Amino acid sequence: MSKSGDILTIDRRRFVQGLAGLGASAAVGLRSAPALAVTGPAEPSSLRGNRFKLSLDRITVNKTGLPSWANAINGSVPGPILHWKEGDVVTLDVTNNLPVTTGVHWHGIILPNPMDGVPGLEFPGIQPGETFTYRFPVIQSGTYWYHSHMGYQEQKGAYGVLIIEPAGEPMIRADRDYPIVLSDWMDGDPLVVANNVKQNPDYYNYRRRTLGTFISDAKQSGLSATINERLSWGEMRMDPSGLAEPTGALYTYLINGAPPAANWTALFKLGERVRLRFINASAITYYDIRIPGLTMEVVHVHGNDVRPVQVDELRIGVAETYDVIVEPKENRAYTIFAQDYERSGYARGTLAPRAGMVAAIPDMDPRPMRSMADMGMHMMPKEVGASKPDGTRIGGIMGMMAKTVPTAERVGEQPMHPNTPDNPAISVEVQSNAKMVSDRLGLPGDGLNLLNRRVLTLAELRSIHPGVDPRPPGREILLHLTGNMNRFIWGFDGKKYSEVGPIDVKLGERFRLRFINDTMMSHPIHLHGMWMELENGGGEHRPYLHTINVKPAEDVSLLVTPLATGQWPLHCHVLYHFEAGMFRTLRVLPA
Amino acid sequence: MLLGLASVTAAAQTVRTGLSPDISDTGTSLYPKPIPNNSILDFGVPALSRVGGTGLSSNTLNGAAPYGSPIEDTRIYFHGVLNQFEGRVGNGSYLRWDSEVWAGDDYNRIWLKSEGRYNSDNKGKVSDGDQEALYDRPISRYFDVQAGIRYDLDSGPGRTWAALGIEGLALDFWKVQATVYASDNGHYALRTNANYDLYVTQKLVLQPQIETNWYSKQDRGRGVGAGLSDIDMGLRLRYEFTRKFAPYVGVAYQRFFGGTEGLTHEQGGRVNDLRFVFGIRLWY
Ligand SMILES: [Cu+2]
């Protein structure tokens, strides 16, 4: 941990880094066939076939140096890696040994509504002691995951990898194949966390602006500019340093269930093509993933093959999956480094020719701050805050950016346009409207805009195959992402889930889903049971997504064709946001 | 890969024969059906008809949440906050507290507030005792309105008041509060409070705070005169070992005015009182 500020005492370091030796056994790839990372007592098992038995149990785990309870699936956190085959009908008997109701959701899977696993909405849930049988045909392939969709169970370990082999020949060839699940582990009870942020929305922000940062900003940018800037945030009662809540002050970040100190390792042989399937199973954490020394070729996104894109780094939002191919050219260890978006901690693993090898762990990058552009304020591009690799100015100071960030360095920002359509009224649940919104798909995101690395953007994604439904949308459904950070209330169009009914669409209808983010947080919006095709300038090669990360002040649109009737959740996948109300249902009625 | 590939028709055959009654009971559905790659979804095909079974499907189209609710966005929260629990030392030391407890959801909350001072040097008399029970409702993005009753409970004669106030975040995160009170015998009062948390470091917080009290009429029994009766201000430096546990040191200054000043003189109190304080801030 570097630049960690004053919260990281020795104990804290141990907590963030976790236990050494936990699950440290290297994953051993098989020789010929693509091998999957398994084995080792702490590692999840791998299950194949078309009939599965899963059980959720309350067990004790030790991820941080202290024992804590977990919601394990088949006895491990993460749960077992499930392998399905496209074209099969799968049957899953899920036994609930937890003291509370549960429901397992198959994230990104197209299936009948009652099989989707959302208690309360799609089925009654699986009661304690009960077994529920899921049964449905598998009509897709690729990298997915599954997780409990009840309360805060997912935060305490109820998630696992789902890999579906294609019915025909796979498009992607690799010699080794490793799923890499990223998650944010916490000891203790997530309900206490929810309660804490309700009382104090900055509870876990230990990087807030202080008298010290005021003085350093004033030295750098001048006193009056600094005062003006502080006043404009103060007027909004917002803190640009609050990017995510909770942060690494609470979390230990895991790769395949292993904390950084345990150094989960994947093996390769020189010259091999290694497929890494990154899955973000975190409750709230976004990660920026890189493997210093290696170029990652992004080949498969959200379960769908995409035209390969070569990158140095990629940001993975909550609930997203990205598969990359790497080809190590040297016989040495490489660090798989996934720093959280807040730069308050990281998950770490190693890619190496032999078990036990390590490579240097890079320093975390400067921490981004929100800018006035994120607030949807009308600004000249040069005034937009952004982070600099040297850390001298990490965003946030309006008007001062011209000195430190030449316009030419800024990439991909599209012209802004006024946010007029149906702005939700300022209210208890709507803290702000973004006055100017823009297409920000070409930006990699805060903190990554100005680093000297190739970072994946959503604008670059192209599906391999043209979309299956070429019809133009018949109508547009616009949703504003809204919230009040101080009250920790989140919703759409200024309403919590419990205050409004479902949005009705028809089976087979072609419509456009448009999101405008009025908050200063990024929200990964997930739609169950159907695909969202991102309108990113790719013509008919729009990428098919199950989750769309919507940046602050972003205006993004997607095309959707509902494939089955029922009430399908549409929600932010940040657990604490959706439990606080950022949840809707899309009711698909018979045509 | 996207929605199945070439073999999907074969897969769909498996699918149809493999369906048991409980899973085909999925409501009207386009699914499962072959979705050939690179072709248009055939929406002209009649949708699968519903068959009898568990009845799950029919419910999933009815109502916002047929089996309860998928989330708990109306959850009840509970917090107890002891803002000040401090000794004020000097000539005639005393202990002062200022606390509040609330419980409720996002819109409906019950607040209990309590403040007062325990005068160890003055025969253990409790003064400035002020207890309130309020209903709180958010009215705007930063402000709540609170209404209820206040009862002055201490060693002096009790008084009952109706209370109506607002509390919230003013510019630059100043926490402010203003409440008007009406007593059963025609007295009115006003109290204002404001404080601000200045983070010196991530855990060291300097908090300026100021409270004022105003009364419409004199009340000799409680030692208050008409007009501005007193100002109580403090500057406290706390160290947040955790957010919920923060000891502090500081100074507090209290000053009485007008009629209250006179009555305080009469009763042998000091009208101008600067003290060193040490205490603890806690919340749950
Ligand atoms: Cu969100």
What is the DSSP annotation of A159-222?
EEEEEEE-SS--SS--SEEEEEEEEEE-SS-HHHHHHHHHH-TTTT--S---HHHHHHHHHHH-
Q: Which residues from chain B sit within 8 angstroms of residue A231, using beta carbons?
A: 172
- Examine the pLDDT at B189 and tell me if it is beyond 50: yes
Buried b (16+ CB within 10 A) or exposed e, B228-262: bbbebbbebebebeebbebbbebebebbbbbbbbe
The backbone torsions φ and ψ at residue B220, rounded to the nearest 5 degrees and listed phi first, read -60, -35
Determine contact, residues A533/A571, Cβ cutoff 8 Å. Answer: no
Q: Which domains does chain B have, with CATH numbers?
A: 135-283 (2.40.160.40)
Phi-psi region of B15 (alpha: psi -120 to 50; beta: other; left: phi over 0): alpha
Mean pLDDT by 10 residues, chain A (591 residues): 38 62 43 37 79 96 93 96 94 96 96 91 93 91 97 97 92 94 96 94 88 84 82 82 83 95 94 97 97 97 95 97 97 97 93 95 86 60 36 39 36 60 88 86 82 91 90 95 95 94 91 95 95 94 96 94 90 96 92 75
Q: Which residues from chain B sit within 8 angstroms of residue A501, using beta carbons?
A: 64
The fold of A46-170 is: Immunoglobulin-like (2.60.40)
Least CB–CB distance from A567: residue in B12, B60, B201: B60
Q: Cis link prior to A114 (omega < 30° from 0)?
A: no
- The C-alpha angle with vertex B201 and arms to B196 and B205, in degrees rounded to 5, equals 30
Determine contact, residues A41/A75, Cβ cutoff 8 Å. Answer: no
Task: Tell me the CA–centroid distance for residue A475 and ligand 1, in Å.
Answer: 25
Q: Give, as one character, the DSSP assignment of residue A520.
A: S
pLDDT digits (tens, 9 = 90+) for B89-133: 887 789 999 999 999 999 999 999 999 999 877 777 888 889 999
CB atoms within 10 A of CB A436: 17
pLDDT score for A289: 98
Q: Looking at this protein, which amino acid is placed at residue A513? A: L
Task: Tell me the CA–centroid distance for residue B141 and ligand 1, in Å.
Answer: 18
pLDDT (average), residues B184-202: 94
CB atoms within 10 A of CB A514: 17
User: Beta B94-104 vs A46-48: how paired, if at all?
Assistant: unpaired
Q: Could you give the dihedral angle defined by the CA atoms of residues A538, A540, A542 and A545, in that order, rounded to the nearest 10 degrees?
A: 180
Secondary structure E strands in A66-175? 67-73, 81-85, 89-96, 104-107, 131-137, 142-148, 159-165
- Examine the pLDDT at B45 and tell me if it is beyond 70: no
Residues contacting residue B171 through CB under 8 Å, at least 6 positions apart: A234, A235, A237
Determine contact, residues A335/A362, Cβ cutoff 8 Å. Answer: yes
The pLDDT mean for chain B works out to 80
Q: Give, as one character, the DSSP assignment of residue A540.
A: G
Buried b (16+ CB within 10 A) or exposed e, A416-431: beebeeebbebbbbbb
The pLDDT mean for chain A works out to 85
The residue behind tokens 């657990």 is A575
Query: A389: exposed, middle or buried (C-beta count within 10 Å: 0-12, 13-18, 19+)?
Result: exposed
Task: Tell me the CA–centroid distance for residue A524 and ligand 1, in Å.
Answer: 6
pLDDT digits (tens, 9 = 90+) for B46-82: 233 232 233 344 456 766 677 888 999 999 999 999 9
Q: Looking at this protein, which amino acid is placed at residue A170? A: P
pLDDT score for B1: 40
What is the ipTM metric for this complex?
0.84
SS3 A472: coil
Determine contact, residues A71/A61, Cβ cutoff 8 Å. Answer: no
Residue A296 in tokens: 């990652």
Domain boundaries, chain A: 46-170
Q: Could you give the dihedral angle defined by the CA atoms of residues B34, B35, B37 and B42, in that order, rounded to the nearest 10 degrees?
A: 110
pLDDT score for A12: 56
Using alpha carbons, select from A491, A514, A373, A487 the residue that is nearest to residue A424.
A491
pLDDT score for A31: 33
pLDDT digits (tens, 9 = 90+) for B208-262: 999 999 999 999 888 889 999 999 999 999 999 999 999 999 999 999 998 888 8
- Minimum CA–CA partner of B80 in chain A: A199
Task: Tell me the CA–centroid distance for residue A574 and ligand 1, in Å.
Answer: 5
Q: Which residues from chain B sit within 8 angstroms of residue A463, using beta carbons?
A: 2
Q: A120–B140: do the CB atoms touch at under 8 Å?
A: no
CA distance B38 to chain A (A): 5
pLDDT score for A517: 94
Q: Which residues from chain A sit within 8 angstroms of residue B21, using beta carbons?
A: none
Residue B215 in tokens: 């009364």
pLDDT score for B5: 31
Q: How far is CA A275 from the centre of its chain?
A: 20
Higher pLDDT, B44 or A398: A398
Determine contact, residues A434/A424, Cβ cutoff 8 Å. Answer: no
CA distance A396 to chain B (A): 16
The residue behind tokens 């209250």 is B260
SS3 A579: helix
Q: Measured on CA atoms in the order A347, A350, A355, A359, is the torsion positive or negative?
A: negative
Least CB–CB distance from A498: residue in B25, B38, B74: B74
- Minimum CA–CA partner of A136 in chain B: B23
The residue behind tokens 């029994």 is B221
Q: B140–A468: do the CB atoms touch at under 8 Å?
A: no
Q: Residue A494 and residue A425: Cα distance in Å, rounded?
A: 7
Buried b (16+ CB within 10 A) or exposed e, A19-31: beebbbbbbebee
Phi-psi region of B14 (alpha: psi -120 to 50; beta: other; left: phi over 0): alpha
Residue B41 in tokens: 């979804």
Q: Which residues from chain B sit within 8 angstroms of residue A151, using beta carbons?
A: 72
Q: Looking at this protein, which amino acid is placed at residue A420? A: T
- Minimum CA–CA partner of A170 in chain B: B1
Which of the residues A92, A498, A530 would you substitute to probe the B interface, choosing the one with the greatest number of B C-beta atoms within 10 Å?
A498
Q: A199–B29: do the CB atoms touch at under 8 Å?
A: no
